[in-house]
Amino acid sequence: MPPPNTEHPVASDAVTESAANAGDTHALPYPRRPAAADPPPHTLPPEVGTVVGTFVLQEKLGEGVSCHVFRGWDQSRSRPVALKILNWANVFDRGAAMKQLRTEAMALARVKHSLVVRFIDFGFDPRWPYLVTEFFEGRPLGELLRSGGALPPAWALYLVSQMADALGAVWQAGLVHRDIKPDNIMVGPNGNAKLIDFGLAKADALEATRERTGPELAGTAAYLAPEQAKDASVVDHRADIYSLGVTLYEAITGRLPFEGRNRVQVIFQHLNTPPVPPAERAEGIPPLLSDLCLWMLAKNPDDRPQNYEELRQALNTVIGVGR
């Protein structure tokens, strides 16, 4: 039995119990004697109960490549919050990662709209830098689609209309979101939606750190506008309209317009292959809705709805016809 390692924030009871069961110290999970290859203790994720700033971590909601996401409690204002905390274990360049989270916070702080998650705080806790936003009770649209398949067209239209309004506010704030996809759209019990995750958002005045330090191919391949696949640093809001078109396509058909075995294959199709009209892929999709989806998915940004007003009008027409 190794000596208890007080630096590991894991309950020691768990160790005793598993040690007794295992009877073999080599089979022990954490905590155990640190090996030379182990990351230093602060690269471990924070535990539920940890306090960062004035916020208590209450429940882990998710883990992305660069961040852990927690539901937390704002002790100073007595309200639930969501905290995005840097995942040091996956961070290669610490300075760039801190700058990236700060850029995300600054982008979010610029947008004030009821359908965009509200910025609350950003802090340089030396253990875990954090970004705090309002907590939204719901599930990501991506999860809903993965578990339940396509949505009835009217529901999909309601969600996408809300996102068109949210993105109108993002555009007014001088930003391009650049990561519109079902996993970044939260859906509440009543079908109310909220746009989250400004980790790739870009503005002229903000330093787009990921572009300087990482590949230019920012964004998730399946939802990537052709021009964003070519060079993510020069896109405008019409790239978000394309990604929202992919989201709409997936929501009504239950399938992505372009599938492939790898990123290159998918991007090739975004650039070169006309999408199969949604109405040919699933039953019960009104032709006008199918056409709108194809309009949003035009390869050339000049051939898409040019702004959110135009998009909103088109959505209203489809919604009106469906009544």
Hey, which residues are catalytic here?
179
Q: Exactly one of 15, 52, 69, 225 binds ligand ADP (CB under 6 A); which one?
A: 69
Q: Are 128 and 224 in contact (CB under 8 A)?
A: no
Please report how close the Cβ of residue 98 comes to ligand ADP at its closest, in angstroms: 15
Strand (E) or helix (H) holding 131: strand 130-134
Write the binding mask 171 to 190 for Mg ion: x where contact by CB under 5 A, - elsewhere. -------------x------
Residue 44 or 117 having the CB closest to ligand ADP: 117
Q: Is 253 in the site for ligand ADP (CB under 6 A)?
A: no
Q: Is 29 in the site for ligand ADP (CB under 6 A)?
A: no
Q: Which two tokens stand for residue 243?
A: 């990604």
d(CA 56, CA 78): 11
Q: Is 95 in the site for ligand ADP (CB under 6 A)?
A: no
The stretches of the chain forming alpha helices (DSSP H) are 12-22, 94-110, 141-148, 153-172, 209-213, 226-230, 237-253, 263-272, 278-281, 287-296, 308-322
Q: Is 67 in the site for ligand ADP (CB under 6 A)?
A: yes
Q: Is 135 in the site for ligand ADP (CB under 6 A)?
A: yes
Q: Is 243 in the site for Mg ion (CB under 5 A)?
A: no
Residue 63 or 125 having the CB closest to ligand ADP: 63
Residue 78 or 300 having the CB closest to ligand ADP: 78
Enter the DSSP assignment of 113. Answer: -
Binding region for Mg ion (CB under 5 A) out of 53-61, 118-126, 191-199, 225-233: 191-199
d(CA 4, CA 25): 12
How are the residues of the chain apportioned to helix, strand and coil, as percentages rounded to the nearest 5?
45, 15, 40
- Beta-bridged to residue 59, according to DSSP, are 71
Where do contacts with ligand ADP occur on this chain (CB under 6 A)?
61-62, 64, 67, 69, 82, 84, 117, 133-136, 140, 183-184, 186, 196-197, 199
